[in-house]
Structure 1
Amino acid sequence: MLLACPLCQDLLSPAEQGLSCANGHRFDRARQGYFNLLPVQHKKSRAPGDNPQMVEARRHFLAAGHYAPLAQGLVERAQTLNPKRWLDIGCGEGYYTAAIAHALPQADGHALDISRDAVKRACRLAPEVAWLVASMARVPMPSASCDLLLSVFSPLDYAEAIRLLAPGGHLLRLGPTSEHLLELREKIYDEVRRYDDAKHLTDLPAQLALTDSGQLSFELTLNNPADRANLLAMTPHGWRASEAKRQAVIAEPLVVRVAVRYDVLQRLPE
């Protein structure tokens, strides 16, 4: 575990029941096993990030194995990169993080999310990971400390990613394509807008080079009403839908395409 103080950026060291830096800033370890390294002055709301309902819906949906092919795809690429220290930025409830941790038992794993509700549940899945409540724009780790960064269905700050990556290190990003959950979106919105699947690479910083990319897609049949309700609750689409459209989705079996793009970016030497 390699962490930096979110207040002064000095290195954090183990202290009784927590962590402290040379300047006297102290952070206790929560009973669930995570560290809260999100100072109140860095919060934009009282309880930032996903709410408990979204977290629970995602936890149940993913635990049912519906997105297992995505986790396997991430694991295969992470194993190829073989990092010594990695960080999952925006880990949510920890489903993908735990899969990576179990596949890389010798590596030093870290994971963070701004939602305390999410991290509380995540740290049960892989106690060996250093779980953090923290901001992805102010990651409490030293510069050039990571060999691999993971960003799965999560916003990404390229400047912070470049700071965290050691030269030669990699960023593994996974995000939705315009085909992702298209059938669900067509049931919710009057007009479904397509978008450029590679838009996130338009202004790629010069310090990062794209070394690999591809797509993972498969068809998902959801016969269980609870699965359909959880899919709605865990995505922004469900929260934007009218109650009538939500109930219409839950009422009938749904066949939907899961379609994501992955990109591997390498941190170039200065």
Structure 2
Amino acid sequence: MKLICPLCSLPLATAEQGVMCEQGHRFDRARQGYLNLLPVQHKKSKDPGDNAEMVEARRRFLGAGYYAPLAERLAGLAHERDPACWVDIGCGEGFYTARLAEALPHRDGYALDISREAVRRACRQAPQLTWMVASMARIPLPPASCQLLTSVFSPIDWAEALRLLAPGGGILRLGPAREHLIELRQRLYDEVRDYDEAKHLQSLPAELGLAQSESLSFRLNLTSREARSDLLSMTPHGWRVNAERRERVLAEPLEVTVAVRYDWITRT
């Protein structure tokens, strides 16, 4: 373990029921196995991130295999890179992280999310990894310590990513393409805005550049009300729409387009 203190950046060493640095900053390990490395002063709310209801919706939907092709391709791309150390940023309930762990069985793996509810569930899927409740803006790992950072439908702090990347390393990002869930959005909104699927590249630091990109798309037929409800709950659309528009989605079967892109972003 090569964790650093999120308060003073000194190395963390194993201590009774947790970890501690030389300055005496101590962080607990939960009984489920994860480390809580999110100090109170770094929180913007009492329980930041996704709540239990949102996490459970995502767990059910992903566990049913609807997005399995996304995870399989992500794991394949990660395996091609074969990093000595990798980190899944914004790991959520751990569906994609567990597939990454299977693809990289002998590598040093870390996963973090700001949501305690998500990490509590995620750490059961791959206990061999180091799981953390931590801020994406203050990842408790040393500079230049990682060859691969992964981000799935999650924001990236580019400056922090650049700090973590070792020479030759890169960021594997999975994000929505232009047609992603277009049918769902058409049911929810009077005017549907196109995704700008390359918008994230506009804010890249000069030291990072897009080295490779590819797309994946397929159709899903959501015949059960629970599946439609879970999909809605795990997207930002779930808390943006009123009850009437929500019921419009839940009332009858829905066929949706899943369209994503994978970007491999490296140090230039």
With the length of structure 1 as denominator, give the TM-score of the two structures. 0.97
Aligned partners of 1:20 and 1:159: how far apart in 2?
26
Give 1:251's aligned amino acid. Answer: A
3-state SS in 1 of match to 2:50: coil
Other-structure match for 1:187? 187
Give 1:7's aligned amino acid. Answer: L
Q: Does 1:104 align with 2:104?
A: yes
Aligned partners of 2:135 and 2:197: how far apart in 1?
26
Q: Which runs of 5+ in 2 are unaligned?
A: none
Other-structure match for 2:53? 53
Q: Does 1:7 align with 2:7?
A: yes
1:11-22 pair list within 5 angstroms: 11-22=11-22
Aligned partners of 2:71 and 2:79: how far apart in 1?
12
Give 1:190's aligned amino acid. Answer: D
Aligned partners of 2:259 and 2:195: how far apart in 1?
13
Q: Deviations over 1:64-116 (max 9, x none)?
A: 00000000110110000000100011011110001001111100110000000
1:33-72 pair list within 5 angstroms: 33-72=33-72
Kindly state the Cα deviation for residue 209 of structure 1 after the two structures are TM-superposed.
Answer: 2.3
CA contact (8 A) 2:180 2:258 kept: yes
Other-structure match for 2:29? 29
Kindly state the Cα deviation for residue 225 of structure 1 after the two structures are TM-superposed.
Answer: 1.1
Give 1:209's aligned amino acid. Answer: G
Q: Deviations over 1:105-163 (max 9, x none)?
A: 10011000000010001001100111100100111111111110001100111000000
Moved more, 21-30 or 31-40: 21-30
Kindly report the root-mean-square deviation, in angstroms, between the aligned alpha carbons of the 2 structures. 0.9
Give 1:146's aligned amino acid. Answer: C
Which of structure 1's runs of 4+ aligned residues deviate more than 4 A?
none
Kindly state the Cα deviation for residue 194 of structure 1 after the two structures are TM-superposed.
Answer: 1.1
Aligned partners of 1:202 and 1:37: how far apart in 2?
31
Q: Which runs of 5+ in 1 are unaligned?
A: none
Moved more, 205-214 or 97-106: 205-214
1:74-223 pair list within 5 angstroms: 74-223=74-223
Aligned partners of 1:126 and 1:10: how far apart in 2?
27
Give 2:146's aligned amino acid. Answer: C
CA contact (8 A) 2:213 2:261 kept: yes
Aligned partners of 1:55 and 1:259: how far apart in 2?
22
Aligned partners of 2:159 and 2:207: how far apart in 1?
10
Q: Deviations over 1:206-229 (max 9, x none)?
A: 211221101111101111111011
Aligned partners of 1:137 and 1:7: how far apart in 2?
12
Kindly state the Cα deviation for residue 204 of structure 1 after the two structures are TM-superposed.
Answer: 2.2
Give 1:220's aligned amino acid. Answer: L
Percent identity reads 65
Kindly state the Cα deviation for residue 236 of structure 1 after the two structures are TM-superposed.
Answer: 1.1
Aligned partners of 1:61 and 1:135: how far apart in 2?
25
Other-structure match for 1:258? 258
Aligned partners of 1:155 and 1:241: how far apart in 2?
22
3-state SS in 1 of match to 2:203: coil
Give 1:219's aligned amino acid. Answer: R
With the length of structure 2 as denominator, give the TM-score of the two structures. 0.98
Aligned length: 268
Other-structure match for 1:224? 224
3-state SS in 2 of match to 1:11: coil
Aligned partners of 1:4 and 1:246: how far apart in 2?
44
